[in-house]
Amino acid sequence: MSESSNEITQFEVGDILSGTVVKVEDKQVLVDIGYKSEGIVPISELSNLHIEQASDLVKENDILTLQVKKMEDDEIILSKKAVDAEKSWDSLEKSYENNEVFETEIKEVVKGGLVVDVGLRGFIPASLVETYFVEDFADYKDKKLTVKIVDLDKEQNRVILSHKDVVQDETKQQKQKVLQSLEQGQVLEGVVQRLTSFGVFVDLGGIDGLVHISQLAHEHVEKASDVVSEGDKITVEILSVDRDNERISLSRKKTLPGPWSNIQDRVSKGDVLEGTVKRLVNFGAFVEVLSGVEGLVHISQIANRHVGTPQEVLEVGQQVKVKVLDVSEKEERMSLSIKELEQEQEAAEFKQYEKDEDQSGFQLGDFIGDKLNKYK
């Protein structure tokens, strides 16, 4: 047995030793381990990741900690990646147990996901990269992502990570933070996320609230898209917060000037307006004179004669002219009259009749006067 052979027998598979790189070849590295026979580190044992050539990772005079993988005759096959992996398992297990979030760089984009270096080869499946679908992962190479370990199996040498879970956790935390900060009566700005048949969902900065269709505007809204669009920034008031069920009711209507706001600047006592009969009740008729503003024509003010029921004279949808008797913004009330307009019309017609009579009488006198003068 040769001297080198004697020396080799002093090593056992699994031993950890230190060596200095003496030569870097394309597919392997030669390491001085203190004996005549240099140790060989094949490129496949240099890293847990794929590398094209050994010089991508090490250079001459680097000191490496290595594990004996195999002994064949005068050759000792060594592994750097086995040592790196063993070192990493302890920290990875702790990280997994503590549900830690850490940053890692994407080293490779492969079919089905992304490969990272976490001391050994870690894998982020495509389904765990983002909360949304990604068509092409090419741009992710060399990008840093925050991740957490979702599956760890030392026997299988498997490390599965997720960026999606980190994003979802952050979203959940933000949601709770916002939810706890909301109070009834608060006025906030939000972004319209979704339109439905019953209203719109508005993002308040991490959590959605619902503006029911009846709370979109002061006037009746047929469909939400008549008032808002996705992506619109709108101001809303919080009507209620149900923290247990994470439900928030909102109103856009309450933040808008009401139809009665500054009504006295737009409508004054004595004004004549045109309106639409909206409702008939036993004591009169409600007439809409402005959008969202209805006034009451009391039954006694419907016509210039006795009226038994409003239906005798008016019908819903009918266009009518009304005179404003009184208006109050505070009480959101307006008194209207059709009768006064009829009386004024009759008075005007009578005056015109009298005027016409006077004119015709005057003309007759002139005519008679002219005739009389001829006989003088």
The domain limits of the chain are 3-79, 86-168, 183-255, 263-341
Instruction: Report pLDDT digits (tens) over 303-347.
Output: 988 989 999 999 999 999 999 999 998 888 999 999 999 888 888
Asked if pLDDT for residue 371 goes beyond 60, the answer is no
Using CA atoms of 39, 44, 48, 49 in order, give the dihedral in degrees to the nearest 10: 130
pLDDT above 50 for 2: no
pTM of the model: 0.56
| Sign for the pseudo-dihedral over CA of 310, 313, 317, 319 | negative
- Which pair of tokens denotes residue 137? 């992962």
Are 3-79 and 263-341 equal in CATH topology?
A: yes
Tell me the CA end-to-end span of the chain in Å, nearest whole number: 176
Least confident interval from 138-142, 227-231, 367-371: 367-371
CA 77 to CA 13: how far, in whole Å? 9
Q: Cβ(334)–Cβ(322) under 8 Å?
A: no
In the predicted structure, residue 374 carries a pLDDT above the cut 70: no
Q: What are phi and psi of 145, to 5 degrees?
A: -130, 145
CATH number of 86-168: 2.40.50.140
105-141 residue pLDDT tens: 999 999 999 999 888 889 999 999 999 999 999 999 9
- What phi and psi, each to the nearest 5 degrees, are found at residue 317? 95, -15
Structure tokens at 9: 């027998």
Residue of 49, 62, 64, 265 lying closest to 141 (CA atoms) = 49
- The per-residue pLDDT for range 176-200, each reduced to its tens digit, is 999 999 999 999 999 999 999 999 9
How far CA 19 is from CA of 40, 58, 64, 137, in Å, comes to 10, 12, 5, 39
Q: What share of the chain is helix, strand, coil (3-state, %, to 5)?
A: 30, 35, 35
Instruction: State the average pLDDT over residues 76-103.
Output: 89
pLDDT of residue 7: 46
Write phi, then psi, for 118 (nearest 5 degrees): -120, 40
What's the pLDDT at 37? 76
Band of residue 3 on the pLDDT scale cut at 50, 70, 90: very low
Query: What's the average model confidence in pLDDT over 255-282?
Result: 90
SS3 49: coil
Long-range contacts from 214-217, C-beta under 8 angstroms, 24+ separation: 214/253, 215/239, 215/249, 215/250, 215/251, 215/252, 215/253, 215/254, 216/252, 216/253, 217/252, 217/253, 217/256
Go through the chain and tell me how many residues it has.
Answer: 376
Rounded distance between C-alpha atoms, residue 230 and residue 250, angstroms:
16
Please state which of the ranges 27-36, 169-178, 206-215, 352-361 shows the lowest mean pLDDT: 352-361
Q: Which residue has the higher pLDDT, 356 or 242?
A: 242
Sorting pLDDT into bands at 50, 70 and 90, what band is 370?
A: low
The token pair at 364 is 């007759």
* pLDDT band at 270; cut points 50, 70, 90: very high
CATH 3.40.190.10, applies to 3-79: no
**Banded model confidence at residue 208, pLDDT cuts 50, 70, 90:** very high
CA 316 and chain centroid, separation: 42
Residue with tokens 């003088």: 376
- Tell me which residue has tokens 């549900």: 99
pLDDT score of 375 more than 50: no
Question: In the predicted model, is pLDDT for residue 360 greater than 80?
Answer: no
Would you say residue 242 has pLDDT above 80?
yes
* pLDDT mean over 366-374: 52
> What local confidence, expressed as pLDDT, does residue 257 receive?
84
Give residue 134's identity as a one-letter amino acid code. Answer: V
Token couple for 284: 């009169």
| Higher pLDDT among residues 101 and 70, named by residue | 101
CATH class of 263-341: mainly beta
CATH class as words, domain 183-255? mainly beta
Q: Which one is predicted more confidently, 47 or 225?
A: 225
Shortest CA distance to 344 belongs to which of 287, 286, 270? Answer: 270
Say how far apart CA 288 and CA 320 lie, in whole Å.
Answer: 10
| Portion of the chain with pLDDT greater than 90, in percent | 55
User: Which of 84, 93, 144 has its CA nearest to residue 114?
Assistant: 144
On whether the CB atoms of residues 48 and 15 are closer than 8 A, the answer is no
